[in-house]
Amino acid sequence: MVSLTSAPPFWLRDNCPCPDCRDPRNGQKLFQITELPAALAVDAVHDTRTPDGAPAREVVWAPDGHRSVYPETWLGAHLPGTGTAPGDGRTEDDKEPWAASRFDGGLPEADWDAYTTDPAVRADTLEAVLRLGFALLRNVPVRDRQVLAVARTFGHVRETNYGELFEVRVEADPNNLAFTGARITPHTDNPYRDPVPTLQLLHCLANAARGGDSGLVDGFHAAARLRAEAPEAYEILSRVPVPFAFSDERTELHAHRPLIGVDPAGRIREIRFNNRSIGTLRQPADLLETFYAAYRRFADLLLRTELRLDFRLAPGDCLIFDNTRLLHARTAFAESGDRHLQGAYADIDGLASTLAVLRREVSAR
Ligand code: OGA
Ligand code: ZN
Ligand code: ZN
C-alpha cells in the first residue's frame, strides 16, 4: 500500500480524476489552480475501490470537504519518488544514437504497399523515425506531388516559403545551392526558421546523373562525441546563439539559436547546422575566437566517414527524417544529368501522435 505523505497537496489535488475536476468526455481539467483553497490539506485517507473494482485510496480534503479517489496503480506509477520521470521523447535519452556501421545489416525501410496496408509495418516505420531519426520507403509511386501524400499518411504538410513542396533539381537562377549540382555537406534544413520544420521528406523521382549520392549523419551522436572529446567546445556550441538567415526576393528569415540545443536538464535536443545560412555572429572578440574553434571542431567531426551513412536514392524512394537531429548531405552531380527530388516538411509531434494512436489500434486487436 502506497503512502500519500510524500505527495504535495496541490500536486495531488491537481490530479483529482473526479467528474467535477475533469470533464469525463475528454479528461480536460475544469478548474484553475487559483480556485483551490490556499490552505489546502489532506484531512483523511481511506482505502476504497474504483467503480470498476480496482484498489484505490480516497482522500478527503480540508478545508472544502472535496473527495478524490486515486487508483493504487496510478499512485504507484506517479507519486514523487516512484521511478524516474519519462523524458519528452525528443532528447538523446529517448533515441538510439548511431554511427554508419549500425546499418551494415540494412536500412530501416518498408515497401510502400506494405506501409499503406499493414498498420504494424506503418507503426514500425514511424517508430524508426523517432528512434533512429529516419526511415526509407521503397516503391513509392513516382508521381508529381506524391511526397505530399506520403506526409499525409502521418500528419500535416508544413508549408514554407518554398511552397507546400520544393523541387530539388538544377535551376537556372537558384535561390538555394540545393537547386544546383553542387556538393552539399551535412546540414539541417531551414535553421533560419523558428520553429524549425521538425520533419523532412525527400522523394526521389529521377536520379540518373553521375554523383548525387545521399548521406545522413546522426547529429545527436556527433554532439555527444564532441561532449566527450572536447567538453569546452560542446559547451560553447550549446550556449552561443547563432544568427541564421535566408533571403531572396520574397523572403527574409532570421533565427537565433545555438548549433546544439539542450533541454533544461542539459540533454541534447536539437541540432541546427548549415554552413550556407550562418550569418554574422556579433559577440565579443574572445568569444568569437573560441566559438569558431568549436564550430570547426564540430564541423570536422560531422565529416568523419564513420559517422556518415552513405546510400543512393533510386526513383520511388522516399526518405523521411528528423530535421532536428539528423544532418543530410549529397555529393556533387553532373548538372547535365537527370536528377529530381521533391521535398516537403511536416511535424514530428504529429508523427508521434499518429504512432501512438496506431499502437492503441494494434494492441486492441
Ligand atoms: C535539400 C537537400 C539533398 C539532395 O534540398 O535541402 O539537402 O539529395 N537536398 O539533393
Ligand atoms: Zn475532484
Ligand atoms: Zn537540405
201, 341, 342, 345: residue to mutate for ligand 1 pocket, most atoms within 8 A of CB: 341
Q: Is any ligand 1 atom within 6 A of the Cβ of residue 339?
A: no
d(CA 203, CA 141): 10
Residue 52: HSE in the Cβ half-sphere, 13 Å Cα cutoff: 3
Kindly state whether residues 102 and 41 are assigned to the same domain: no
Tell me how far the alpha carbon of residue 36 lies from the centroid of ligand 3, in angstroms: 50
Tell me how far the alpha carbon of residue 82 lies from the centroid of ligand 2, in angstroms: 23
pLDDT tens digits, one per residue of 288-311 = 999 999 999 999 999 999 999 999
Confidence of residue 81 (pLDDT cuts 50, 70, 90): confident
Nearest residue CA, atom 2 of ligand 1? 178
pLDDT tens digits, one per residue of 28-46 = 999 999 999 999 999 999 9
For the CA of 329, the nearest ligand: 1
Number of domains in the chain: 2
Residue 80: closest CA among 6, 133, 155: 6
Nearest residue CA, atom 1 of ligand 1? 178
SS3 content of the chain, % helix, strand, coil (to 5): 30, 30, 45
3-state secondary structure of 219: helix
Kindly state whether residues 224 and 156 are assigned to the same domain: yes
Residue 83 has pLDDT above 90, yes or no: no
187, 202, 213, 277: residue to mutate for ligand 1 pocket, most atoms within 8 A of CB: 202
Query: What pTM, to 2 d.p., does this model score?
Result: 0.95
Residues 168, 169, 174, 177, CA torsion sign: positive
pLDDT of residue 1: 64
Kindly state whether residues 151 and 214 are assigned to the same domain: yes
Query: CA torsion, points 89, 91, 92, 96, in degrees to nearest 10?
Result: 30
Kindly state whether residues 51 and 158 are assigned to the same domain: no
Residue 318: closest CA among 93, 128, 139: 139
CATH of the domain at 112: 3.60.130.10
Outline where DSSP puts E strands in 98-193.
109-111, 134-138, 157-158, 166-168, 184-187
Residue type, 80: P
Kindly state whether residues 101 and 188 are assigned to the same domain: yes
Tell me how far the alpha carbon of residue 262 lies from the centroid of ligand 1, in angstroms: 26
**Which residues constitute the domain of residue 153?**
92-364
Kindly state whether residues 27 and 152 are assigned to the same domain: no
Helices 231-239 and 219-229, interaxial angle, to 10°?
A: 130
Residue 86 has pLDDT above 90, yes or no: no
